[in-house]
Amino acid sequence: MFVIRREPHNPILSPRHEHPWETLATFNPSVIRESSGWRLYYRALASPAALVSPYAGQSTIGEAFSEDGVHFGNRRQVLMPQEEWEAFGCEDPRATVFEGVTYLSYTALGGYPFSKDNIKVGIAVAKDGKNFTERHLVTPFNAKAFALFPDRVGGKVAAMLSVHTDEPPTEMCLVYADTVEDFWSPVFWEKWYADWKSHALKLKRSENDQVEVGSVPILTQHGWLIFYAYIENYFNQHDRVFSIEAALLDRDDPSKIISRTESIMVPEEIYEEYGIAPNIVFPTSATIGDGGQLDLWYGAADTVCAKASVKLHDLMRALDPKQPARTFNRAKENPILAPRGDGFESRSVFNPAAIDLNGSVYILYRAMDAANTSTIGLAVSRDGVTIDERLPDPIYVPRADFEQKKGSSTGNSGCEDPRIVRIGDMLHLTYTAYDGVHAPAGAISSIRVDDFLARRFEKWTMPFLLTPDNVDDKDLALLPEKVEGNYLLYHRVNSQICADILPDLSSGKRVSRCIEVIGPRRGMWDSEKVGSAAPPIKVGDKWLMIYHGVSRHATYRLGAALLDSSGTSVIARAADPVFEPLEQYEKEGEVANVVFSCGAVIRGDTLFLYYGAADKVIGVATASLAHMLDALS
């Protein structure tokens, strides 16, 4: 579990109109950490030059310096076209200090209009670390983003590069040489290029996608850490999604991928969504900061330089194949509840709520019979895992007209996906009410704590709707505490988690606003829709929210976010899912590839998460609350 945090001062470098050479854009930074600060090389884009390329801005390489890694000044041009093979621009630098010498590789534009025949890799050399006194054409073929490893690999000089970026399909490839000088030898490249596809890293999940080299690799104790650009639906301009991913490569043989993430960052901020090329985040550098922080430097919308950070320990744990899957560990007793008999829970039991009362965990679960009517059953556990008691009859059944079956006699209907909270001496049950014909709606019913414990379930109040008519509004969960005297209700409208404030919980009061709390992240694991899972958990003066996210492949996973005291503002949100379907009972059932939680309880440092698996059975998983809060803090 890890969080990607954008620098609050983003963008850290923007165009300067008083500098003619960077009036349009300053982006795709490559950073070297020095004893006195951060030296940043970047692509500087000027307005079109009437005598060179009147229809395209000319790129050069700029340099800036910062003592704090945030505020950059002392800008200057360090590379301008001077050779025929770079006459139309120098783009997208990658800087590496290798054996005491600074090498700055870049994309060299040797002709206009730009094409596969005139876009290649160049490299500049600064033996004193500052002044680039020599430069060389590297690849005789179409390539970009040449990233030199900062240390030898198996005694060899190593590099990564993107081959055929302008003649797809593109591949990220590895290349090894005896000396750095081999990299500007045409004879060397002629031999390598004859079998260039054999040097490719296999990172694409689909032939419709594209990968491109991002940062210069960082050597960690577990292997080489790289960040790269992943472009989903590359060949469909309207559906392209630019994202950033990370991978861990073997120390001695980087062609071996130890592990990798899915997309960890996509365009979300305004400076990433709007610019010369909208909706782009493109990683070009990574450095180790202070206190175990890793800084990720990237270009945003091909216009500005930006920076984000992640706790290196958290990221490496997520990339460690020996670690338990994600943040939560499954109970060995799973599934703890399964369908039984020929009555109200004969077909499925899933999507449980949970509440800890008087030393026992009460699990209120959705039960489905042969006619696909949903009711709510109850099981009790003293240790949170072992089921000590399971009632033979449902504790809550459809009573209102809006949850009575009106469609097919075997169509879905009833009371679905409960969440329960205690506020004062009352328990409030929110759930999805469905009659099989109209849009699903959010309902509420309440009962006194003492009546619930005494099992006087006839005391449930008559339910009423909290959501508007004819709106598909589900996943209702109350904040388990009033905020300034009001109730806060989470609900899902379309694909996002909304909140609304209710002065009281009485019939006739319905939500009328969608205060957006969390939305889908296009291109990530929660790209299609998100909804609340268990009601948020109080941690100090903040709230831990577990939510479910659905991918474009219809896989249901769980994520985590930290909300402020109001319950409506996101302080931090994990980039990766904290739980995902892995076991057979989570992958196969009524609906494949689903883990869906409606309840969680805290005991000491242990968070017990109760979830439905494949809409068929119920499991429980545990995690360290301290670990989750550390990652989110």
Kind plus residue range of the DSSP H or E element containing 449: helix 449-453
E-assigned strand segments in 524-594: 529-532, 537-539, 542-550, 556-563, 570-573
Instruction: Find the mean pLDDT for residues 180-187.
Output: 96
Structure confidence at residue 55 (pLDDT): 72
Report phi then psi at 392, rounded to 5. Answer: -80, -15
**Proportion of the chain above pLDDT 90, given as a percent:** 92
Say if residue 432's pLDDT is above 70.
yes
371-375 LR contacts (CB < 8 Å, sep 24+): 371/405, 371/409, 371/410, 372/347, 372/410, 372/411, 372/412, 372/413, 373/344, 373/398, 373/405, 373/413, 373/414, 374/398, 374/412, 374/413, 374/414, 374/415, 374/416, 374/434, 375/344, 375/414, 375/415
Q: Which of 526, 522, 10 is nearest to 243 (CA)?
A: 522
Structure confidence at residue 325 (pLDDT): 60
Structure confidence at residue 338 (pLDDT): 98
Report phi then psi at 433, rounded to 5. Answer: -100, 135
Report phi then psi at 628, rounded to 5. Answer: -65, -45
Those residues whose C-beta lies under 8 Å from the C-beta of residue 78, and which sit 6 or more positions away, are 41, 61, 62, 63, 104, 132
Two tokens, residue 622: 């545990």
Fold of 329-632: Tachylectin-2; Chain A (2.115.10)
pLDDT band with cut points at 50, 70 and 90 for residue 49: confident
Q: What is the mean pLDDT of the chain?
A: 95
Domain with CATH 2.115.10.20 in the chain: 11-319, 329-632
CA–CA distance, 383 with 461 (Å, rounded to integer): 30
Instruction: Find the mean pLDDT for residues 49-59.
Output: 77
Q: Are 382 and 332 in contact (CB under 8 A)?
A: no
Residues in the chain: 633
Report phi then psi at 602, rounded to 5. Answer: -115, 130
pLDDT tens-digit profile of 363-373? 999 999 999 99
Instruction: Find the mean pLDDT for residues 415-430.
Output: 98
- 514 SS3 class: coil
pLDDT tens-digit profile of 322-358? 876 679 999 999 999 999 999 999 999 999 999 999 9
Fold of 11-319: Tachylectin-2; Chain A (2.115.10)
Say if residue 523's pLDDT is above 90.
yes
Q: Are 210 and 234 in contact (CB under 8 A)?
A: yes
Q: What is the CA radius of gyration of the chain?
A: 28
Integer CA distances (angstroms), 578 to 111, 343, 541, 547, 626, in order: 49, 35, 22, 10, 14
Structure confidence at residue 324 (pLDDT): 60
Q: Are 61 and 79 in contact (CB under 8 A)?
A: yes
Two tokens, residue 562: 């930290």
pLDDT tens-digit profile of 555-611? 999 999 999 999 999 999 999 999 999 999 999 999 999 999 999 999 999 999 999
Instruction: Find the mean pLDDT for residues 379-386.
Output: 98
